[in-house]
Amino acid sequence: MPTITTDPPDPPLVLDRILAKLPGDGVIALGEPTHGSANVSAWKFANIHELAQRGLLATLAFEDPYVAGLEIDAALRSDGDMDAAWDGGSSIWDTITIRAGMRELQKINTARPHEDRVSFLGFDIRRPRQAAAMLVELVEKGDREQVLIAMSKGEELPAEDLDTVVALCQRIAAVSSGTEAAVADQLRRHVDAYLSEPDLGGLHRRDTHMAEVLLDNLPARGLTVVWAHNEHVARNPDNFGGPSMGKVLHEVLGDRYFPVGILCGEGECRAVDPASGLDEYRSVPLPPVRSHTTEAALLSGGCNFVTGAEFSHPGPRRFIGWRVDTQLFDTAPEEFEVDRPSSDFSALAYLPTSVPDATPSPTQPSRPATNGC
């Protein structure tokens, strides 16, 4: 079985193999086995920096709220305060390794002509309060309906008012362009996925909406790199009730979409552990790698990077999100696995361990994430 012999996989060699299969306006999705493995994030950034230095990267798209991404984009394409901009993003990505990677990308970026600089896109549909507040500032006075003002204050709205919000957002998007229309679309999508049905019954539509945001914002030329969890970038037709983001992107883009699943062996990650009784991020051990998993097959084959043509496995693979309940390791290990084949991805990268990332300001309590992988 073909392998790349360096450990972890060598980014220039990995990228050469990917780029040989991808057009210049393609989308490379880099998954991750956890949201808090420092070595995985560092490896992803090594690939991103390599593409930026080659002048091939046009957009870095993150599973982060769209509105937060606007400020990050402004900082990335200038000499703005990247750390201050990053403060407005999700707590999931508020780690030492990711902040360092963004600062390095900014350094690479500002050495290039302004028109060739990498842009940043937040494609998640969360943060309705911020989106509503931005719309209140942007739209004409006649569109500043009370429901929009109420959402901007974080007030909970009854169902009939949510319909009014959706209709208002549709009207704004129809007559506007640029940021105003995009933020209106974000708020409408959030209502659909998070608020339109009780008990988050529509949450499976989040992935479809995230794919729509990406498709709406693809650059005219150059590569896009997507940063999200494995289960978002996977080509899965039934991801907790609806198609994954990767499935939607594949259906639209075809061979222009190249998802890379990143798996790892044992170790620790930055996560919230309910068993600890603490609602904050900490270093948490990963569930053991069981012998029937894709991770075990990659390890036994000595593979650290393989394409779909070189490797096939029926699964399952581990599923590890922002929360890792260690008390389930012995009683319900299947809770940490998703029964899906390796063909969900165009390629797989395997790192033998997971090293926990850390929140940069230990004196500041982390804000736990909600409702995501």
Whether residue 365 is predicted with pLDDT greater than 50 in this model: the reply is no
Q: Are strands 305-307 and 347-354 parallel, antiparallel or unpaired?
A: antiparallel
pLDDT digits (tens, 9 = 90+) for 128-159: 999 999 999 887 766 667 889 999 999 999 98
Q: What is the pLDDT of residue 140?
A: 73
pLDDT digits (tens, 9 = 90+) for 24-59: 999 999 999 999 999 999 999 999 999 999 999 999
Please state, in angstroms and rounded to a whole number, the distance separating the CA atoms of residues 149 and 151.
5
Sequence ranges of the domains in the chain: 11-125+208-354, 128-207
Please state, in angstroms and rounded to a whole number, the distance separating the CA atoms of residues 202 and 284.
30
Confidence label for 372 from pLDDT (cuts 50, 70 and 90): low
Mean pLDDT of the chain: 93
Q: What is the pLDDT of residue 368?
A: 45
Q: What is the pLDDT of residue 160?
A: 87
How would DSSP label each residue in 324-365?
--TTHHHH-GGGGEE---GGGSSEEEEEEEE-B---S-TTSP
Instruction: Report residue 84 as tokens.
Output: 């201050």
pLDDT digits (tens, 9 = 90+) for 270-295: 999 999 999 999 999 999 999 999 99
Nearest to 131 by CA among 209, 247, 50, 57: 209
CATH number listed for the domain at residues 11-125+208-354: 3.40.50
Average pLDDT for 297-304:
93
Nearest to 40 by CA among 371, 359, 350, 360: 350
Q: In the chain, pLDDT over 90 holds for what percent of residues?
A: 89
